[in-house]
Structure 1
Amino acid sequence: MTGALMRAEIGEQPAALSRLLAAPGPVEDIAARIRAAAPRFVLLAARGTSDHAALYAKYLIETTLGLPCGLASTSVYTAYDRQPSLDGVLWVAVSQSGGSPDLVESTERARAGGALTLSVTNTSDSPLGRVSEVGLDILAGPERSVAATKTYTSSLLALWLLVRAWAELDRRPADRLVDDVACALTADVEEVASRYRFVDKLVTTSRGYAYPTAREAALKLMETCYLSAHAYSGADLLHGPLAMVDQDRPVIAVVPEGPGGRALQPVLAALEERGADICLVAPPAIAHETPTRIVLPAGMDEQLAPIAQIVPLQRLACAMAVGRGFDPDQPRGLKKVTQTF
């Protein structure tokens, strides 16, 4: 059956996350080294799915540690052949394969420019891991489906654990995480998959920690279903793109409990005014407000919620792809390791 690999790897996520939670030693050691270096700024480098994990890390670092944090433009170091001056900077390269040449080269240059370089990968013995001073293995296990699923959620958890250890905060908020992800694996997505089976364009949106979830959901739908999916921060959606939304362009809104969800409320009101076809991905108290919904567990920590939020959206992408006659395990024109320069 098509999509068998993707479905299996989606289902492996509770086990993969449990494995990472059971191995705190490496995270604690890396956090101690970062604290000793006392970076003044953090730069994150990534591509594709890993770029969304890096964006999640940006929110974590800025809110938890109060450090300025940016997303690096690797082409500055590769295509434009510039050598950075990065004394006092922590450079974090996120890549499930660790094999993309532009990430490897830019990380080499960052290290030569004085940065402390950290790789976050699912392949410890990778080119990226070899050029980085420090490496964090996300322990997701082999991932064979081209569409990344368990490596994404394991990357999120690895980054959350690292930031918590760096800030010398306890990990108790993650005590229920595996159960929340297991619950998200049972969320009903079939009705939404059937409703949106033949759409050729849609929008995903959210705010705060959940914004990377909206971006990753759009990528999964594009690469498996071959539809046009635009991801926007709710704030950016109001700054122009709202005009393109109508009844023929569904909007999938990820609405967390907490400040991010509250910040999204004016956006949802504006979408309703336009008569948009809205699907809420949210806990029961929020999701009950719309007939088209994917229900998430209630009471999740807002920082950790993205790890569970993306799971039913991965399942939705898989179900929609199969319903459209595509094999999400082998998206056309894509390979598991993408070579960018």
Structure 2
Amino acid sequence: MTATRGQHMADEIRQQPAIFADLLAARDAIADVAAVVAQRRPRFALLAARGSSDHAALYAKYLVETLLQLPAGLASPSTTTLYGAQPDLTDVLLVSVSQSGGSPDLLEVTESARKQGALTVAVTNTADSPLVTAAELSVDVRAGREQAVAATKTYGATLLALYLLVDAVRGGTGEQAADLPDLAEQTLASGREAVDEAVGRYRFLERMVTTARGYSLATAHEAALKLAETSYLSARSYSGADLLHGPVAAVDADTAVLAVASRGRGGAAMREPLEAVAERGADVCAIGSAAQDVPATHRIPVPACAEELAPVLEILPVQQLALGLAQVRGFDPDNPRGLNKVTRTR
């Protein structure tokens, strides 16, 4: 293992508190976009994304449905790109989430939606991307160039940008997020020992289930992706509710369960499914501000914040865990095999 293996990923994880601070300082630009959205009064929201951005879009779906009380759905790009569907999207808000802004399918979806009457907003880390040109409005997540293939700082910044956008649409001032930079610093520092212990605990693991409910479900999905693409683990993610409907049968003493549980209704709802997997002998690692409140064999604490902002902090120790496991298993998380920074699909 070389000294530089995973160095880019490590650096980019550490950059996130400063990126959050910069994004909060630029909130006025996001509020300007939100003002247009609020004025247009959409009746429905669609979110289009792929990969890590799709998990950020799932988080935004919870935000839209809960904070704005609007129905929201995740778009299926192939209905446009492969099947040529052209639904009437009058008075619909389409938010396209892409770190690179260069995915051909998301570009086509955005262009088509705009022609069909949607108000289109691009949320991306590339301000001069084709996606920004295609959309009527855009939000810059301001994370700077990401060199590691595995998305870390762009994912965290996208979560915060989406929160600030939705919060501003409802007339909020972003005050709930004001302490996030400091809380992110605390999360990275205070959880380090517990993360290192988890790395040692799961070094030889081959199978993991990740699970959560509510806002944190996005974190569980992103955790499974990060572990699979950096450590080549067989990782599957489930809602805590769905876990009890069949997948729990595949959980046994040879399975580790990474459970995301933060204070609030979503974290409270995780107690029952975690009691069920604990009874089956699974090794449960709980991450979040409610980690101490759920059945677990190992815990990684996260400072408490408003429940709707918890995913911005929860993902940090997940990223540290994915980095550490990749390094100790002899892999390079900066350059996972078979992956490129921009995935082009249609």
- Give the TM-score category using the shorter length: over 0.9
In the other structure, the counterpart of 2:165 is 162
Give structure 1 regions of 4+ aligned residues with deviation exceeding 6 angstroms.
none
Deviations along 1:253-301, whole A, 9 cap, x unmatched? 011101001111111111121111101113377268534121111x311
**Partner secondary structure for residue 28 of structure 2:** helix
In the other structure, the counterpart of 1:311 is 316
Distance 1:80 1:270, change over 3 A: same
CA RMSD of aligned residues (A): 1.1
Residue 231 of structure 1 deviates from its aligned partner by: 0.4
**Partner secondary structure for residue 85 of structure 1:** coil
Residue type matched to 1:172 in 2? Answer: E
Question: How do 1:282-301 and structure 2 match up within 5 A?
Answer: 282-283=288-289, 286=292, 290-297=296-303, 299-301=304-306
Counterparts of 2:98 and 2:151, CA distance in 1: 11
Q: Does 1:130 align with 2:133?
A: yes
Counterparts of 1:23 and 1:127, CA distance in 2: 22
1:326 paired residue among 323, 328, 331: 331
Deviations along 1:231-258, whole A, 9 cap, x unmatched? 0000011110000000111000011101
Residue 170 of structure 1 deviates from its aligned partner by: 2.6
Residue type matched to 2:25 in 1? Answer: A
Counterparts of 1:289 and 1:226, CA distance in 2: 27
Counterparts of 1:68 and 1:288, CA distance in 2: 31
2:12 paired residue among 9, 12, 18: 9
Question: How do 1:15-54 and structure 2 match up within 5 A?
Answer: 15-54=18-57
Counterparts of 1:170 and 1:135, CA distance in 2: 19
Q: Does 1:275 align with 2:281?
A: yes
Counterparts of 1:153 and 1:290, CA distance in 2: 26
Counterparts of 2:49 and 2:294, CA distance in 1: 36
Counterparts of 2:90 and 2:341, CA distance in 1: 34
**Partner secondary structure for residue 273 of structure 2:** helix
1:41–1:90 Cα contact (<8 Å) kept:
yes
Counterparts of 2:285 and 2:84, CA distance in 1: 44
Question: How do 1:181-260 and structure 2 match up within 5 A?
Answer: 181-186=184-189, 187=191, 188=193, 189-260=195-266
The number of residue pairs the alignment matches comes to 340
Residue type matched to 2:312 in 1? Answer: I
**Partner secondary structure for residue 185 of structure 1:** helix
Distance 1:212 1:295, change over 3 A: same
Residue type matched to 1:217 in 2? Answer: A
2:259–2:284 Cα contact (<8 Å) kept:
yes
**Partner secondary structure for residue 331 of structure 2:** coil
**Partner secondary structure for residue 333 of structure 1:** coil
1:70 paired residue among 67, 73, 76: 73
Counterparts of 1:320 and 1:194, CA distance in 2: 8
1:98–1:122 Cα contact (<8 Å) kept:
yes
Uncovered stretches (5+) of structure 2, i.e. residues with no partner: none
Residue 35 of structure 1 deviates from its aligned partner by: 1.1
Percent sequence identity is 55
Task: Please give the TM-score of this superposition, normalised by the length of structure 1.
Answer: 0.98
